[in-house]
Amino acid sequence: MNTVTLINEITSLPVEERALVVESVLQSLNQPECKLDTVWAEVAKSRLAQLESGNVESVDGKQVFDKIWQRFK
């Protein structure tokens, strides 16, 4: 099957099935890096544990971005 035939087949599908095809193709282009995902999951767990233990305090997101924008003024 060539590309044009495949595209014609896909575009004739109901919208829900086309969405599934699109999602599958996009996932194939953006393969997750398992090792990187694992590292980020560990960082997130560590940060959550620090928050829950009270070792660090959370900062409001607006405060963080306000501080960043002040550097550019």
Q: Between residues 66 and 33, which one has the greater pLDDT?
A: 66
Same domain, 2 and 14: yes
Which of 27, 9, 28 is CA-nearest to residue 18?
9
Which of 34, 7, 33, 32 is CA-nearest to residue 22?
7
* pLDDT 10s digits, 10-61: 999 999 999 999 999 988 887 777 788 889 999 999 999 999 999 999 999 9
Same domain, 46 and 61: yes
pLDDT recorded at residue 32: 72
pLDDT recorded at residue 45: 96
Same domain, 40 and 53: yes
pLDDT recorded at residue 70: 94
Same domain, 40 and 66: yes
Question: pLDDT-derived band of residue 72, with 50, 70 and 90 as boundaries?
Answer: very high
Q: Count of residues for the chain?
A: 73
Same domain, 43 and 58: yes
Domain that holds residue 65: 34-71
